[in-house]
Amino acid sequence: MPVYNGQLFLDQCIESLQAQTFRDFELIICDNASTDDTPRIAAEWARRDPRISVHRADENRGAAANFNWAFELSRGELFKWCAVDDLMEPTFLQECMNALERNPDATLAYTGTLDIDETGAVLGEIYDNRANLQFGSGRADIRFRDLICNVHSCIPVFGIIRRDALLHSTLIAPYVASDKVLLAQLGLRGRFVKLEGNLLLHRQHRKRSVTENPSLQERAAWFNSRAKGKVYPHFRLGREYLLSALTAPLSLADKLRCMIQLLRWFHWDGRQGMLDDLRYYRRKAARAAGK
Q: 76-105, pLDDT tens digit by residue?
A: 999 999 999 999 999 999 999 999 999 999
Percentage of the residues of the chain whose pLDDT score is greater than 70:
93
Beta-carbon contacts of residue 101 (< 8 Å; ≥ 6 apart): none
Fold for domain 77-212? Spore Coat Polysaccharide Biosynthesis Protein SpsA; Chain A (3.90.550)
Is 70 exceeded by the pLDDT of residue 119? yes
pTM: 0.93
Q: What is the pLDDT of residues 32-87, one digit of tens each?
A: 999 999 999 999 999 999 999 999 999 999 999 999 999 999 999 999 999 999 99
Strands 27-31 and 2-3: parallel
DSSP string covering 189-231: HSEEEEEEEEEEEEEP-TTSHHHH--SHHHHHHHH-TT--S--
3-state class (DSSP) for residue 75 = coil
**Neighbour tally for 113: CB within 10 Å:** 22
Q: Which region holds residue 249: left if phi is over 0, alpha if psi is between -120 and 50, else beta?
A: beta
- Among residues 64, 18, 49, 19, which one has the least CA distance to residue 30? 64
Domain spans in the chain, listed from the N-terminal domain onward: 77-212
In the chain, the amino acid numbered 151 is V
- Range with top average pLDDT, 135-139, 176-180, 224-228: 135-139
- The per-residue pLDDT of the chain, averaged, comes to 93
Proportion of the chain above pLDDT 90, given as a percent: 83
